[in-house]
Amino acid sequence: MILIKGGRLVLPEGIMEADLLIEGEKIAKIGKPLSPKKAQVINASGRLVFPGAIDAHVHFRDPEDTTKEDFSTGSASALAGGVTTVIDMPNYRNPPTTTIAAYNQKRIIAATKARCDYQLRFGGSEKNAEEAARSGAPSLKIFLSETRSELTVSHSAAVQHFATFPAHKPVCVHAEDKERIENRRKRFKLQSEIQDKLSAQLACEFSLREAAKLNRRVHICHLTTGLEIEMCRRYKNATYEITPSHLFLSTADLKRLGQLGRINPPLRDKAEQAALWRNLGKDTIIASDHAPHLITHKLDGAPGFPGVGTIFPLLLDAASKRRIRACDIARWCAENPAGAFYLKNKGRLAEGFDADLVIVNMKKKWKITAENRLSKCGWTPFEGKEIVGKIEKVFLRGKLAFDGEIVLSKPGMGRELL
Ligand code: NCD
Ligand code: ZN
Ligand code: ZN
Ligand code: ZN
């Protein structure tokens, strides 16, 4: 038994000063004061205790491209950043996770390498709707625009996936309109002009409309405009995510980032970034879209930023500046993703839930570096950024998984969530 004593527990509804008792893998009791006989006591006084973050959008690059990341390094980066559960994406080439065989291969790889808990997403391709539905996978990802694998689907194949994949399971959409982008590529040079806001909004509108006709669950990935949030709110079976990349960076950062600043969908201007902040609400999910590439690939134009290790720190810093509340982090990074992706007994500090906890000292400052974020890709767009709020301990199902310096959880300790 482990007793987390004297901390301030962060719930979406508010902060609760209480002790928390861990028995085995679970939160056994929350109350004040708790004094069980034989527990190991962790003094959390003056600390915030959060539920472990759930990052519903990561690309850990297994099995295709493990020079940039793999399940072991990706999940180490997650834990060092207070993320105890991730959902991994299927957009790989060799093989793409678009067949049941590839999906099962990935399950074995993840089971041997993962240090944190995880769920795997199936990939939709032009012709695999029936196989995707049969796979039993908890969610599906489709791309309406170009990506580095065969996951790009036409509108008609997207509709087929919407109709065939079990209606209560989320179909997650990378919503950018391929035709519009291809046309604009002939006329514009800048990525933000080619993949403009309307390209995203049109694809978002298409996805929501078609999903609504079928009364099915749909999830819009990494949306980048205020209007898309408003559109998602009009349809009750839709959820959406925003990335810290689009919240904390804008086209104004491209000068500094150069080629490293390329990401899909692209960074938007400051006005649109402000619209995202204004629209954050009770239904928001924040997910990193952790998309690591080596610097050499970035210089060749690869889109994407590492992010699983910075999602929680950036939000803690925003809370320290009173831009958001600590409670919002518990809602956006734990409770809401657990709800959207049916992660049982995850995402909340409550009796009977998994003891996934993050203990934070809001009085400590530190600096983000690629080195302390542990991703194999070796860079971060937030290099050198000063953060208020130090993650001192992370527990995964009752076990100390990160002690503030070192990741203690070993490959294979993560568990698949179905
Ligand atoms: C992602 C990647 O590299 O896999 N890149 C990105 O810019 N977001 C793919 C994706 O999520 O679109
Ligand atoms: Zn995407
Ligand atoms: Zn992605
Ligand atoms: Zn690459």
- Residue 230, classified by CB atoms within 10 Å of its CB into exposed (0-12), middle (13-18) or buried (19+), is exposed
Round to whole Å and give the CA distance between 311 and 288: 6
Instruction: Reply yes or no on whether the pLDDT at 355 is more than 90.
Output: yes
Q: Is 304 in the pocket of ligand 1 (CB under 6 A)?
A: yes
Instruction: Reply yes or no on whether the pLDDT at 149 is more than 80.
Output: no
Instruction: Reply yes or no on whether the pLDDT at 410 is more than 80.
Output: yes
How many angstroms separate the alpha carbon of residue 89 from the centre of ligand 3? 7
Q: Is 52 in the pocket of ligand 1 (CB under 6 A)?
A: no
Per-residue pLDDT, 92 = 81
Q: Which is the closest atom of ligand 1 to the Cα of 303? A: 7
Concerning whether 289 is annotated as a catalytic residue, the answer is yes
Residue 237 binned pLDDT confidence (cut-offs 50, 70, 90): very high
- 63-118: pLDDT as tens digits: 989 999 999 999 999 999 999 999 999 988 889 999 999 999 999 999 999 999 99
Mean pLDDT value across residues 327-337: 98
Task: Name which of 112, 167, 133, 141 is nearest 416 in CA terms.
Answer: 112
Ligand nearest to the CA of 173: 2
Examine residue 265 and say whether the peptide bond preceding it is cis (omega within 30 degrees of 0): yes
Q: Is 84 in the pocket of ligand 1 (CB under 6 A)?
A: no
Instruction: Reply yes or no on whether the pLDDT at 318 is more than 80.
Output: yes
Per-residue pLDDT, 147 = 75
Question: What's the mean pLDDT when you consider all of the chain?
Answer: 97
* List 62, 289, 317, 354, catalytic entry: 289
- Cα 279 to Cα 77, 273, 282, distances in angstroms: 29, 10, 10
Round to whole Å and give the CA distance between 8 and 45: 8
Within the chain, what is the greatest distance between any pair of CA atoms?
72
- 17-75: pLDDT as tens digits: 999 999 999 999 999 999 999 999 999 999 999 999 999 999 999 998 999 999 999 99
E strand or H helix at 55: strand 53-58
Residue 325 binned pLDDT confidence (cut-offs 50, 70, 90): very high
- Residue 34, classified by CB atoms within 10 Å of its CB into exposed (0-12), middle (13-18) or buried (19+), is middle
E strand or H helix at 367: strand 357-367
- Residue 388, classified by CB atoms within 10 Å of its CB into exposed (0-12), middle (13-18) or buried (19+), is middle
Per-residue pLDDT, 91 = 87
DSSP string, 85-105: EEEE----SSS-S-SHHHHHH
> What stretches of 183-255 adopt beta strand conformation (E)?
218-220, 238-242
Q: Is 224 in the pocket of ligand 1 (CB under 6 A)?
A: no
Ligand nearest to the CA of 377: 4
Mean pLDDT value across residues 246-252: 98
Task: Name which of 96, 196, 205 is nearest 158 in CA terms.
Answer: 205
- 165-200: pLDDT as tens digits: 999 999 999 999 999 999 999 999 999 999 999 999
Ligand nearest to the CA of 69: 4
Round to whole Å and give the CA distance between 15 and 9: 6
Per-residue pLDDT, 146 = 82
Per-residue pLDDT, 93 = 80
Q: 0.95 exceeded by the pTM? A: yes
Round to whole Å and give the CA distance between 231 and 238: 9
Per-residue pLDDT, 150 = 77
Residue 158 CA from chain centroid, whole number: 23
How many angstroms separate the alpha carbon of residue 352 from the centre of ligand 3? 32
Examine residue 12 and say whether the peptide bond preceding it is cis (omega within 30 degrees of 0): no
Q: All domains of the chain, ordered by start, with CATH?
A: 2-49+353-402 (2.30.40.10), 52-340 (3.20.20.140)
Poorest-pLDDT segment among 125-134, 145-154, 392-401 = 145-154
How many angstroms separate the alpha carbon of residue 264 from the centre of ligand 2? 6
How many angstroms separate the alpha carbon of residue 44 from the centre of ligand 1? 38
